[in-house]
Chain A
């Protein structure tokens, strides 16, 4: 909300500069978002007196003027037709920057040097007048800054008013806050009117059919007004807060709203059929043309202000075009009502129409301010537009709001705030906010109806705490540590997973879990959840897996010449049944090991991925688990070469090459290898505690054996058979070479294994190793027809 610094000064005598006021308001809870001077910057422009006007020697239309500035006399050239000796004018000297940004320098015009400029109103951006120079009043003081001639410069403060403080949506409300903060006395101005017209009962009546939606409707009638321009001072105040002047009557209703916070509306009395007001709900699908000349369709829950026949205003939101005040208006009916906040908000939302009025009603106006607002408006109208005020108020108030009581215990203030505030100070703060105070422990506060947010003791505690000053509250220098903190195991496990992947060269990414429908369609993924009110189509679904986000990141980086990278993400994925689970997934893309520049560049392949996954599982103490390999028939989001990782008969995850059809969704045409693991299952299988296992101190024996087998025999089958047959002293069996040649023959390969024998009990002899190897050879021969390569 915008407030004017000078308007606040009209209401309250305080001695803060605009900047100090901004700080004070911010620290008391109404944050000042901006502070801007109102009107043009007239710095440097001063009042001058034209001593003489002579013809320019070389130009007919220019004159040469001598201007007295008090301290000196300047010669300037002026092109305005209205310049004359004896005028007081606005003078800008060399070096002065005008509001339009132009900085004046000494200039020769047709052979004569001008040492300044006599300004027009437009050059000073005061108004659009550029027919000639601006002539000032006689009482202007020569040499006086022009700003002082116009009076103190105003400032506009843009305030962020919190939702609970509709009472601050007015100058009176803000003045009350300032007074409370500065410990000043504040009384809102009151207006008295002479009711010289006929009794109001003879002119109009107000009937409320919906007392829940309109607990109060008050009206006054003023006859014989003259609609015309508003007084300059009022235009200035309204413009300072961004309101355009329309005419004196409309401006006054706006002025009342901006000063008191109570929205008003003025109807042309003669455009009200039967001269009466009925407050009721609109007909279903009723059409209504508002002031802004837009036809709007209403519904039967919207409250409509009607005359004897039809609607004349959408309650609390906007008036109708038909009954608006025009230059021809003579008699008028002033409305000042209290409408239900929730219903006003609904109407405003449904019509997508927010006004200064709806904003105030939907947050909560003061039901007991209606007549005061009418009186203020009537007093100003009589003063500036003439007319006679009918005697009395047509005031329908079917649901009365009374002030209520709230107790405040001083000890409770201490318990919440942590500092003892003297009872007298507590009482003082509450009184300045408009409460009536009785007693001291507890303090009985009667709450004014404009502060409906003060319902409970805690609400009062906040008020006294903020007025005392949050920054006056001491800062505790010790913490009372609870010793039964539960370690969040899953959360630390996730950190462990992330750190392990980082060590393995993966960069963590964070992608948006909101994705487009096309991105949810990876094969084998469950159906994705759609938002009911998405912000855009490409963020309309909740991710059903992490691969789509990762593939999008891969595409982004591939398109930016990144030749090889590893990325991972750890986060939630969502299912149609509203369940969610923690998943970690990663991708390996492009060139492997870019850091090894002299070893040749090769593309990442399945064994790189498998190695990374094996290392990850080892880091998580899961490497003792068994891999189950199998191929998914018909291929899903992975190609046929996919590995399912199982532990204790539970599926932990999958890894393999992503199917080209899946990567094509993201316009990727290079091979991508990826993995996906369920974090909760991973954690369940991970060894929580590591216990030391002793190692043998006896020497080990190494034997290298190369077996020739058929291509169809896998490394896993061979090593499994070797380990089974090798006896308890065979502690390691590792593949170290694969060899194919013509001599071996087609469909044959040689697999070379390095076997390590070691005993916990004694030094093994060569004979013992040889015996084990014999058993191994017999076993692999029997199982796979494997023979030693000669």
Chain B
């Protein structure tokens, strides 16, 4: 169907565009931005005056809990939540059950996502077999099956030789490795090491749990020449290290979860298990540096790091609860909040959630370039809404933003030219 989205403020960082204009869509693709192409017959006109039109969001990391953890969520529920949140592509890490270390699991996830038809789902394959950090996964076969990168997810690879060989093999397969740096021995605690952890008596996670692993991995990246992406960085020192590495020309990118830009270890006081995350919310000065890193481009992308949990998983004494935040539906509003507070420019922040993560995943997505798939997110930047368990469509209600008044609500999500969500 031929659609014209008219009178919206179109922000497309990939093409340096920010103006009020029209977008023309036909056969699932964007055919023009601005002038109506000759002979284009508008079948459906969507007037979005006062709203902002951006490329559909690309989320670098969302656990959709399928296969393996149906009690927490499933592909249908989470892709629906994604559609409501304006996310048109999401990337699923390999720590499902079974692990994404065989083509069959990738096929299953793709199939279920297609059936649901709410969002595109891509997968990271396992870097080591079973994520056990001992022998290499069949990366070539995984790539053939469609994985967009390889990762050991939150499982560390303590054996340095295994890590080095895995990187070399990834180079051979021309795959990007996605690394979440954590030293397994230093990282055994449950919250940031600081005055709050000492006061609360929670076993701490020092910043060195991240930086020691990051330093090792950077040296191995330099030695092997692998293309690498660092996931979920949390400390100020890590940002400095990435900045230095990029200055020296290392092929590395990095992301941060949207929550790390809003929360600190102080929010964990009173043992709020909704703030139990890994890596942990760190000190205020770390948060400031993460924001600075997004601003200057050291951090290339922001992701939701969506980890839906069932009620029981978060109902226990702090250390016994499972880490993670349900985040799909609050990602965009939290990003808008950073822009509204003047911390990061709106265009920059949209870039970190569209074209930048698409680039990291090697996908032709995240832009409104004519000829590309018509994946769009349209939101009303002035519309307020309240985060409540009832308002969240994701099966996971575990967010520390419960009760927050959010500004910015998605009104339309368009996937391959099809309206998958309309408010």
Real complex partners, A and B? no
**Chain B residues within 8 Å of A, Cβ to Cβ:** none
**Chain A residues within 8 Å of B, Cβ to Cβ:** none
